[in-house]
Structure 1
């Protein structure tokens, strides 16, 4: 049985992260906007990691590597962390008081093609969700997923995310507009 761990972003994984991104570039391009060629250098990867560490320290974002048997197989992030916000598109739908404080982040992830559809991302989302609610004391996690990515929607539904809204032409992937689906999960 393979063992999944989520590892906070760090420079020890720079070579593995670069290999992961290069090896899966064509696969990711079919799901999300392609990155510029300049992204795929070790120097840039170290810059991205350093930025992630700074965001972690300033409570802006929490980025993790998904590792299977200690090999980097994906990335998962909580970003756009907001705290003590009173406004949200979800208040009316959830019958929450206008005085409810919302501590939320947006989750995003990418898994290698080799591990896609094998439950790794579902398990990683569960771990990050637990970390977000128990350690970061967030009370809501939001996700925005392209409608052409049903696998990602299934991952979220398996983790008790609920549909919130559909955004027409909410994202362009390689110049092609796609609708987005917004889902959310709240702590109990």
Structure 2
């Protein structure tokens, strides 16, 4: 079973491979990162680690037993008990429930480690897979108009505190 790991400096090579190998797949449903992302990857990775150390963001990778990165699950703009969740999964890892399971694990980290009570998320209208994960994990569409790099999207919210977080929840009755 893949492990959800907090982003570390030594993840950089595997993370860059993940982003390169899945770039076209991601671009089909979410805005492309652009060439500068790959050119400046080392500096960007270090900047993410700095943000994480400051507590404003919490970055996680879904890592296979062999060290291959299968997904990213990020909590950004963490403040006052809320954060924005963003995630992406490698093409070869889709359709197995890995994103749903990882999002549920993120919920537990939010409550137990990061003192977060509310998550926001957004997905483009055409990104049906991410929208399905959000719905399956209890996110509710907010009705707000969202634009993601020029593409129409849907905003979501998920309250965490005192909720049944799913099968992995230690809070299940």
Please report the TM-score for the alignment, with normalisation by the length of structure 2: 0.85
Look up the SS of the partner of 2:110 in the other structure. helix
- Answer yes or no: is the 8 Å Cα contact 1:61–1:81 preserved in 2: yes
Q: C-alpha displacement at 1:179, in angstroms? A: 3.0
Look up the SS of the partner of 1:151 in the other structure. helix
Please tell me whether residue 181 in structure 1 is matched to residue 159 in structure 2: no
Aligned length: 161
Greater percentage in strand: 1
- Answer yes or no: is the 8 Å Cα contact 1:147–1:181 preserved in 2: no
Where does residue 171 of structure 1 map in the other structure?
148
Structure 1 runs of 4+ off > 4 angstroms? none
Q: C-alpha displacement at 1:186, in angstroms? A: 2.7
Given candidates 88, 98, 101, the residue that maps to 1:123 is 101
Structure 2 alignment gaps of length 5 or more: 163-173
Please tell me whether residue 61 in structure 1 is matched to residue 57 in structure 2: yes
Deviation digits for residues 89-132 of structure 1 (CA, Å, limit 9, x no counterpart): xxxxxxxxxxxxxx101100011000112111111111111101
Distance in 1 of aligned mates of 2:52 and 2:15: 18
Matches within 5 A, 1:26-175: 26-41=24-39, 44-69=40-65, 70-83=67-80, 103-167=81-145, 170-172=147-149
Q: C-alpha displacement at 1:18, in angstroms? A: 1.2
Where does residue 97 of structure 1 map in the other structure?
none
Structure 1 alignment gaps of length 5 or more: 84-102
Distance in 1 of aligned mates of 2:54 and 2:9: 18
